[in-house]
Amino acid sequence: MTLVAVGTLFPTISLAIIALNFRYTSLAGLIRAISSMLDSSRIDDSRRATMLDELQVMRRRTTLVKYALFLSGIAFILNLASLFFGCFSFRVIAPVIMALTIVSMMSSMICLCAETILSTKAFNLHIAEILQY
């Protein structure tokens, strides 16, 4: 295993963490906005029910993004460890840690894919309510 192979994942993992952090921040803002709308007394019951459904979906999405961020962080740490062991010619452990890095990133991307599916569900809830009027 070469250090070039290990080094290629650094920008990928970093960009994934940044993108996931933006997603998490956006979701938190949406949840706050919907919560403040729910506090308004001018919302009818069907709109309130839709907003509560949207909040439930967003809570699941937030959990998935949180797991994806965690797994990406683990991948970054493992990638650093793989680089460390590769620099000091630990030829047995470095590839194992690199494999764990890849598995961690794959798991993170699976969480992201699941979150994307849920985001479509939340969007469809919102569109269905708009088309109802």
pLDDT tens by residue, the chain, 133 residues: 677 778 888 899 999 999 999 999 999 999 999 888 888 778 888 888 888 998 999 999 999 999 999 999 999 999 999 999 998 888 899 999 999 999 999 999 999 999 999 999 888 887 887 787 6
**pTM of structure:** 0.87
pLDDT of residue 81: 95
Q: Number of folded domains in the chain? A: 1
Planar angle of CA 104, 59, 62, nearest 5 degrees: 30
Range of the structural domain that residue 21 is part of: 3-132
Q: How far apart are CA 104 and CA 77, in angstroms?
A: 10
